[in-house]
Chain A
Amino acid sequence: MSTTAVPREGTRRTGDWARRAPLLPALIFTIVVTQLPFLVTIWYSLRSWNLLRPGSGQFSGLDNYVAVLTDTQFLGAAGNTILITASCVLVSMLLGIGLALLLDRKFFGRGLARTLLITPFLIVPVATALLWKTTMFDPVFGLVGFALSPFGLGDVDWVSSYPVASVVTALVWQWTPFMMLLVLAGLQSQGRDVVEAGQVDGAGPRQMFLFVTLPHLRRYIELGVLLGSIYVVGTFDTIYMMTQGGPGTASANLPFTIYQRAFLGFDIGQSAAMGVIVVIGTMIVATLALRLIFRTFMATEEKLS
């Protein structure tokens, strides 16, 4: 690539806009469909607007934000979001590292095992939720109850007794393969020479892992944690399908509460205010994630340009 980059330098100025042209359709499309509606969301969030109160819709400044931030239901949902996201990302990352270490070795049927292991990630999340809610956790038909019946736990209704833990279990099942793939990409990018140098210096397998492999994987683990957090925070379908945020609001997270407030409570203003708060939170994490992506995947590129 560096060989072709050199003659290109000369024409750099003249074609600047022609070069950007192929990007325009994608940029315009993405911005029009995601960012313009978000401006509308901000606009909504500044109005007192409830579809059940005719005549409402006047400008109300930051009232919605005050109302939302002092709302115990919102605070509970925010707490649940953090709890669900943190535990899901942590557990699936640990399992993912374990899986990646296993899959990094050569063994018979490795390709097949890897494929089977990533399938949970590609399954329709709505079906995943259904799978866990009924196939696994159902007190009558579920596999978990069946497997635990010798221990006297056969007829526990897991989803209503432990709603958050049930949701996290389903999410961990879904996200472990994602973490595994990232860590595996990291393991396979580790240079043979580094490993050999470590062995020559007399490091045992455990020392090798702690002092050579783990530092190398750090970036990939960080990336997995950040991207996983961004996506898991936005989880809606799993919660909607498994618990409907219940019992009560015990397992409601922010996306579910936003949806509920807008489409069941018809309070567009407050729902929009919550949406804006979620976006601000996501942006903070996303900025960190973007920096990491550029350092991890663009590193070679930056050296060239």
Chain B
Amino acid sequence: MRTATTGRPRQRRRWGWENWVIGAGIALLLLYCLAPFYWMVVSSLKGPGEIASNSLWPRDPTLVNYRGVLGGRDHFGYAVRNSVVIAVTTTLLAMVIAVFSGYALARLRFRGRNLVLALILACSMFPGVAIVTPLYQLFADWGWIDEYQAMIVPNISFALPLAIFVLTTFFREMPWELEEAARVDGCGPFGAFGRIILPLAAPGVVTTGLLVFFAAWNEYLISSVVSITLASNPVTVAIAKFAGDSEFQQPFGSQMAAGVIVTLPLVVLVLLFQRRIVKGLSAGGFR
């Protein structure tokens, strides 16, 4: 601000002042968003002797917490593996189904199309807690408790509405004349779709797939009911056991290490695909 008052033209001075306020505002908000992460990472790197000392960075960084979490008797590594299997399977299956639906809703005209879209969206707003008990009973009857499919099937059905909606908005922007051209050149309807439209739609499909992956990775309620033993727990359930139930209560440092392990893959994905994710989220307005 001081430099701005040294006799510059009026216009410039005002901009300088505004930029300072905006800059400070953004810095504050970034601090608000990032301080919790920072503190989690820092705490996970502190050894038992330092953990209560509230120093702003680890004076003697150590991986002892990570070794404890991944190598300990509870095998957090298993939970990471379970989550990867569940989330990847959910994403692949949901995307195959959603691509067809999104194509139909964006491309084909038929009566009741908006009604179908509304119906699908309504299902995405359905509170999961209202169906947990029947799902549990059903899966128990089928012997699905502690099986991956008990988490994959509900995940798919809760991810589908989001995936279909975001894909539909992406598909609407496609140059459909190309599909017509491919058909004229002798491609069948599936050939035209697979060779021309799908490659063009790849960015939208990847974005949607990422959102579905996040939703599946984050799911907790249904998993906590249908996955009981450590062998099938996804990361969300494993973390809750770390910190919630006294039976499995872990030291603070280990909790933070587990938090970092669960958060890191998502942060990396967000940084890699930032533009697409922002586009997908604002197109859908959904999680």
Contact = CB atoms under 8 A, between A and B. Distances in A.
B130 A275 contact: yes
A contact residues, range? 35 or more
Contacts of A231: 287
Contacts of A294: 114, 118
B127 A255 contact: yes
Interface string A155-178: 000000000000000000100011
A198 interface: no
Interface string A103-137: 00101000101111111111111110011111110
A303 interface: no
Contacts of A223: 285
Interface stretch (A22-30, A63-71, A83-91): A22-30
A40 B134 CA distance: 6
Interface stretch (A54-62, A209-217, A256-264): A256-264
Contacts of B240: 126, 237, 240-241
Contact of B127 (A119, A237, A262, A278): A278
Interface stretch (B5-13, B197-205, B212-220): B212-220
Contact of B236 (A12, A34, A124, A283): A124
A127 B239 contact: yes
Interface in B208-244: 214, 217-218, 220-221, 224-225, 235-236, 239-240, 243-244
Contacts of B39: 135-136, 143
B123 A35 contact: yes
Given A19-B109, A20-B104, A124 B217 contact: yes
Contact of B243 (A95, A241, A286): A241
Interface in B119-149: 119-123, 125-135, 137-138
Contact of A30 (B110, B160, B176, B285): B160
Interface residues of B, number: 97
A184 B252 CA distance: 38
Q: Is the interface of A mostly helix, strand, loop or mixed?
A: helix
Interface string A218-262: 000001100100110110110011001000000000110011001
B169 interface: yes
Contact of B126 (A29, A138, A279): A279
Contacts of B120: 26-27, 30
Nearest to A182: B285
Nearest to B98: A26
Interface of A: 1, 3-5, 8, 12, 15-16, 19-23, 25-27, 29-35, 37-38, 40-41, 44, 95, 98-99, 102, 105, 107, 111, 113-127, 130-136, 138, 140-141, 143, 146, 173, 177-178, 181-182, 184-185, 223-224, 227, 230-231, 233-234, 236-237, 240-241, 244, 254-255, 258-259, 262-263, 268, 271-272, 275-276, 278-279, 282-283, 286, 289-290, 293-294, 297-298, 301, 305
Given A136-B39, A185-B282, A275-B129, 7 more contacts: A1-B176, A25-B100, A40-B138, A119-B266, A275-B130, A289-B125, A297-B285
26 contacts: A5-B109, A16-B110, A22-B100, A22-B101, A22-B103, A26-B100, A26-B160, A29-B157, A29-B160, A35-B123, A40-B131, A114-B278, A119-B37, A119-B267, A130-B239, A132-B36, A136-B39, A143-B39, A173-B33, A259-B132, A262-B133, A268-B133, A272-B133, A276-B130, A290-B121, A301-B172
